[in-house]
Amino acid sequence: MTTGQEKSIDVDKLLKNKLKAVSVGSLENAIAKVISDMVGEDYKCTIGEVKYTLFSGADFHVKVELSYNPEQ
């Protein structure tokens, strides 16, 4: 018995993986910026192979490391 308050699932929305439109470089820069801001040091981020999943997801390996700048 439905109460009328249940929402239907938009299957088309789930199957259109908008993450595919996001540049990996943009993700790397955004992650590095957030971590750098949190820690107070300059960090860089690299993302390994991206595997897009069904239902608008993605799996990838993220490597974050302190940037070395000898001029600082």
Whether residue 72 is contained in a domain is answered as no
Q: What is the mean pLDDT of the chain?
A: 86
pTM assigned to the model: 0.72
Alpha carbon distances (Å) from 2 to 9, 10, 11: 15, 18, 20
Whether residue 40 is contained in a domain is answered as yes
Whether residue 35 is contained in a domain is answered as yes
Q: Which domain covers residue 54, as residue numbers?
A: 11-66
d(CA 31, CA 60) in angstroms, rounded, equals 13
pLDDT in tens, 34-62: 999 999 999 999 999 999 987 788 999 99
Confidence of residue 72 (pLDDT cuts 50, 70, 90): low
Mean pLDDT of 21-44: 96
Whether residue 4 is contained in a domain is answered as no
Whether residue 48 is contained in a domain is answered as yes
Q: What is the three-state SS of the chain? A: CCCCCCCCCCHHHHHCCHHHHCCHHHHHHHHHHHHHHHHCCCEEEEECCCEEECCCEEECCEEEEECCCCCC
pLDDT at 70: 64
Q: How many structural domains is the chain composed of? A: 1
